[in-house]
């Protein structure tokens, strides 16, 4: 499949087509909030971003960022060719449950060991996720966990016709 034409980034923007493959892990310092059922279930000023070609960043929050009872281990697992075996969480907040909306790597591969126990989230399953005060848009397609903000340009993998990117 032919690679799509990348959008031109403006001042202060990043193109996901400049992200590497295999992906890169980087520390994130900024505010992140997560809301479910009308409650804030997580807030942090530190975390990590995984940056991979054609994907908006996937943000990982320290488990300590979540309020007590928000993370409930769920059945199932999946494998990532770069990070290893993922375990899932159901997220609870405000009387709502978002099944398998969070995942973690308890024993990630060598290049991703800082993510041990950190939690990534499917923004589409939650009421609201913010990065530095901006509400994120979930990565298209419902399979990947990237968060789209105004400072990231695509096109993004996940939508129709992007399977072979």
Q: Is residue 13 part of a domain?
A: no
Domain count, the chain: 1
Q: Is residue 36 part of a domain?
A: yes
Q: Is residue 149 part of a domain?
A: no
What's the token pair of residue 154? 């695509």
User: What is the DSSP secondary-structure string of 78-127?
Assistant: EEETTTEEEEEEEEEETTEEEEEEEEEBSS--GGGGGGBT-EEE-GGGSS
Nearest to 40 by CA among 102, 128, 120, 145: 128
Q: Is residue 88 part of a domain?
A: yes
Q: Judge contact between 103 and 119, C-beta under 8 A.
A: yes
Query: Residue 115 in 3-state DSSP?
Result: helix
CA distance 136 to 28: 16
Q: Judge contact between 108 and 99, C-beta under 8 A.
A: no
Q: Judge contact between 116 and 60, C-beta under 8 A.
A: no
Q: Is residue 53 part of a domain?
A: yes
pLDDT digits (tens, 9 = 90+) for 53-106: 999 999 999 999 999 999 999 999 999 999 999 999 999 999 999 999 999 999
Q: Is residue 115 part of a domain?
A: yes
User: Which residue is associated with the tokens 């126990």?
Assistant: 117
Give residue 165's pLDDT. 85
CA distance 60 to 21: 18
pLDDT digits (tens, 9 = 90+) for 8-50: 999 999 999 999 999 999 999 999 999 999 999 999 999 999 9
- CATH no. for residue 97? 2.170.150.40
Q: Is residue 152 part of a domain?
A: no
Q: Is residue 158 part of a domain?
A: no
Residue 3: pLDDT band (50, 70, 90) is confident
Domain that holds residue 82: 25-139
């Amino acid at each position: 499949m032919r690679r799509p034409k990348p959008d031109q980034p403006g001042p202060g923007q990043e193109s996901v087509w400049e992200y590497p493959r295999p992906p890169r892990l980087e520390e994130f310092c900024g505010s992140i909030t997560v809301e479910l059922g009308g409650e804030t279930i997580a807030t942090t000023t530190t975390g990590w971003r995984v940056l991979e070609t054609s994907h908006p960043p996937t943000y990982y929050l320290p488990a300590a960022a979540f309020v007590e009872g928000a993370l409930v281990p769920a059945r199932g697992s999946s494998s990532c060719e770069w990070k290893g075996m993922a375990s899932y969480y159901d997220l609870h907040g405000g009387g709502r449950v978002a099944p398998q909306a969070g995942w973690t790597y308890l024993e990630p591969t060598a290049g991703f060991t800082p993510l041990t126990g950190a939690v990534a989230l499917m923004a589409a399953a939650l009421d609201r996720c913010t990065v530095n005060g901006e509400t994120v848009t979930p990565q298209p397609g419902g399979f990947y966990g990237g968060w789209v903000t105004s400072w990231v340009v695509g096109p993004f993998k996940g939508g129709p016709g992007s399977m072979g990117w």
